[in-house]
Structure 1
């Protein structure tokens, strides 16, 4: 039984549980009540959700407790056991299962497949950018399957067709771009190992394509994930390496993005002065834009997005007087269809308001975060919801906060 598939089942089960509003302990109690047995504990639910085991004997009772069809859970369990290659309603197999054995970017010897040219590269580029645009309005849990299917198909296209050297380099660059957005999507879905494999595959493709800014984008993306998952020093090292890799001649938007990631990495490492300096350098880089064409993957980098990072850094550094006005202004004009980003940005605003000793306003923002997060299949928004609730625990004597914690405190129990 594949460990990745068991982990997928665990993520799938955890998502169903959270949709009911139950903690792991509450689900265990419900299963015991339905079965008349006392053999299920919170620790057992945790094992299932970590992918340590698949609860075959409990599938029917679980379906009843979660209010879902038994067939759906049975199909998910069959996928986890390796009895089917189709993952119902969830992510596709991991990148390792989608790619050829050995070096996934090594062309096949003596390949005699169909010849492809610039038109094929153009079609692939359009699909890659379409996936980026989809990520603006959908979350990782919704997109991880299509993203990794596209990545596997792009690598097979490169390996199994014939093409000129220039077309081959262009295909490798598109594989690198696709690996970056697939890694980002996997990270958002909480599939960090899968994201790391995608990023490293993309780095290899971008290096072979000779695309320095893209190598830096991939390295910086991986560094950003590491900074957010307890590997702060590694994350900082990659963020700094990305700036060096790109060089001073990188397009202004790309350089601003890389410096913003350096600021965040310093923040996560507890280094305030260099974090603030990096924020200033990012703004300077964007201001120096001479109109040269930026990479398509940097389409979203703007003054407003840099201000969001400013506010996040100031929030993490407990400087709410800087953070609150920035976030309030950005949210007032942010595209509401970008539900995940709006929820994330409001989560930092809620924390900043709590730091500013404005618990009533913080609770109001937190309620908006929790409402939005319930409809977004993003592990990042779920974790930020927990961060906000933990921060508000110090204000339990405030009625608005107390009501919020009573209604949503189960998120902390899970």
Structure 2
């Protein structure tokens, strides 16, 4: 092994010496970190120098059986070689032209795109930002981002903030179609870029960047929650709260507390749900009506879980329904919460209150593939299976759970998979039925 090798070459050497394929290394890293975000293609990009595994060096050291310091030294050599004069490159006239290009929308050629993309990549590498991907922006925006990273006080502005927010929206959209794992590297890179840019930006821009970082961190919390990685999910929710507090964004602070309540539901922690929901409802957050409606619905679920108090539960449901009626089209935080989603959340309340028949009525009326993303459809289908099991209908429970399982695997949704396992547990005693046997075999596969 060459001690002076660049990181891509070194990683390949170490992997081959360990007798591992790229897929083997990816699987080992997933097992070490407890996530499902490393793929064979990602390892290939690291070994070709197309992306830098800065955030994975500790796990790589364990997986490859080497000292972390050796990998960090190689990474530092790469950083020095990547862009020795980056500050000069983006100073003065070049940076001014970058900012002007963003505003004028100048037409780019393929050569310009290739050139600027490479310069931007090097700028990111120099600053340790390895995971960011920006597939939909133009040359002007690429130049502007790079200029802001080099001189954020001068070039970080409202247009840059808006670009970062668009990237976050695109990542959220990708999550809804193919699952959370595909978007995590992009959003991790965005968070790093936003945080570094905010440090030296003008105070007014810094606050907007901090608000944007809070949005990105909350999204990461959701991604890791769906992947079943509780520790990183909690970490990113806490970071979202920190950035929201730093930006004096009270609405985002209340919204993160609501997300903590939802995470407590995953663990069926009714007391935790109640604690967080009370903080949401009683705090000085000035939340929009549709978020208040979601909080009331969470309070209803907590009532159902704690004491199956149907009257108290339905009072909160009606409160939520009224708030949702007066809400305009959801925008900003919580844009996903609409009438169809609300009705399925109500179905969960009735299931928890011991009234699965009413829950199934709501699932039948509102759970459609047209109204929900593939991943969310699978999640609620698993909960519908649980309602069937509670209603002592094992065949329909198994059929629903089996369909949910297929979607969970297609979208890497550990959250849905966990709910499918709950259905399997509820079907004990019906193991001799063919549909239940098919579900159990599918889970084992």
| TM-score for both structures, normalised by structure 2 | 0.65
1:385 shift after superposition:
1.5
1:222 shift after superposition:
1.9
Gaps of 5+ in 1: 1-55, 61-68, 101-110
Instruction: Name the count of aligned residue pairs.
Output: 325
1:322 shift after superposition:
0.9
Q: How does 1:9-408 map to 2 (within 5 A)?
A: 70-74=21-25, 77=28, 87-89=38-40, 93=55, 113-159=153-199, 161-163=200-202, 165-229=203-267, 231-245=269-283, 247=285, 249-270=286-307, 272-273=309-310, 274-289=312-327, 291=328, 294-332=330-368, 334-335=370-371, 338-405=373-440, 407-408=441-442
Q: Distance in 1 between matches of 2:363 and 2:267?
A: 24
SS at the partner of 2:427?
helix
Q: Distance in 2 between matches of 1:367 and 1:376?
A: 14
Pair 374,259 (structure 1): closer, same or farther in 2 beyond 3 Å: same
CA RMSD of aligned residues (A): 3.3
SS at the partner of 1:348?
helix
1:215 shift after superposition:
0.9
8 Å contact from structure 2 (residues 351, 359) kept in 1: yes
Q: Distance in 2 between matches of 1:295 and 1:71?
A: 42
8 Å contact from structure 1 (residues 224, 265) kept in 2: no
1:113 shift after superposition:
4.8
8 Å contact from structure 1 (residues 212, 246) kept in 2: yes
1:41 aligns with: none
Q: Distance in 1 between matches of 2:209 and 2:438?
A: 54
Q: Distance in 2 between matches of 1:193 and 1:312?
A: 25
Q: Distance in 2 between matches of 1:288 and 1:308?
A: 19
Gaps of 5+ in 2: 1-14, 44-52, 60-126, 129-150
Pair 257,75 (structure 1): closer, same or farther in 2 beyond 3 Å: closer
| TM-score for both structures, normalised by structure 1 | 0.69
Q: Distance in 1 between matches of 2:426 and 2:320?
A: 29
1:309 shift after superposition:
0.2
Deviations 1:6-27 (A, max 9, x none): xxxxxxxxxxxxxxxxxxxxxx
1:304 shift after superposition:
0.8
8 Å contact from structure 1 (residues 227, 233) kept in 2: no
Structure of higher CA gyration radius: 2
1:362 shift after superposition:
2.0
Pair 270,154 (structure 1): closer, same or farther in 2 beyond 3 Å: farther
Pair 333,374 (structure 1): closer, same or farther in 2 beyond 3 Å: closer
1:221 shift after superposition:
0.7
SS at the partner of 2:429?
helix
Q: Distance in 1 between matches of 2:338 and 2:263?
A: 21
